[in-house]
A and B are shown apart, each in its own frame.
Chain A
């Protein structure tokens, strides 16, 4: 069900932060109340695709004494895309609400 919306979910989860893949997966799981327990291996190719599309930028960080991780942040283009996707989703969801509501 999430497949067509994975990019929007990833962009929204990253938002204004710079997050690594593990933190992104944990954040999606927490924010969705456990509804979206994504197969972990699907996230990294999607992040790579968004980076190649110019919507994300990534860099390696290594905190003192911590593990080296690649963190992702939205680019300006990614922020614009997120705004558009949010608007598109709201329009779609309100349409679905109207249709489903009319049948109950």
Chain B
């Protein structure tokens, strides 16, 4: 395909690059619409009537923002919950001491800080304060990473035997996957915010 519609769709792809999945969906749908319109008024008018790609991209970013904020907060909440559960699981099964050493402090303090940050992010998301949601979720991700790291080091220090090490590695993998998912959500949210600010 070449001509005004193809050029328009390429331009739309560029401005929707902040969300490749959305970009694919939008391209197919809008191509179909433009071809329908072009049959009535020609390609150039079809494209002109549709509007500027940058404005369309911004409208899509605004439309998807509540869902994007919710997904980011859910990812953070899942990671927070999993961190709490897996930390307790390791502590109980490996019978780790609950002393006041620095690792325990980082482990528990990081988790508490993260849960507070996640709560603040939910509250800000309900008010659509994007910049503050991002900031609180980044704090939460950092605190959770600190908590997970301290918890794992603490577990390795107190663990003996293959089964104990397998438990630690298994739970660590779950936490790392969830942390990666949260970081991916935050990266996507950042791209949306940049599109809206453009």
Contacts of A65 in B (CB 8 A): none
Contact B62 A45 (CB under 8 A): yes
The answer on a CB contact under 8 Å between A21 and B33 is: yes
Main secondary structure of the interface of A (DSSP, over half): helix
The reply to whether A40 and B51 contact each other, CB–CB distance below 8 Å, is: yes
Contact check, A22 vs B36: say whether CB atoms are below 8 A apart: yes
Q: Which of A1-58 contact B (CB under 8 A)?
A: 20-22, 39-42, 44-46, 48-49, 52-53
Of all chain B residues, the one with the shortest Cβ separation from A49 is B63
Which size class do B's interface residues fall under? 20 to 34
Q: How many A-B residue pairs have CB under 8 A?
A: 60
* B28 x A70 contact (CB < 8 A): yes
Where the two chains meet, the residues of B that have a C-beta atom closer than 8 Å to any C-beta of A are 25-26, 28-30, 32-33, 35-37, 49-52, 55-56, 59-60, 62-64, 66-67
Report which A residues bind B (CB closer than 8 A). 20-22, 39-42, 44-46, 48-49, 52-53, 67-70
Known: A40-B33, A70-B29. 18 other contacts (CB 8 A): A21-B29, A22-B36, A39-B49, A41-B50, A41-B51, A41-B55, A44-B26, A48-B63, A48-B64, A49-B62, A49-B63, A49-B66, A52-B63, A52-B64, A67-B36, A68-B28, A69-B29, A69-B32
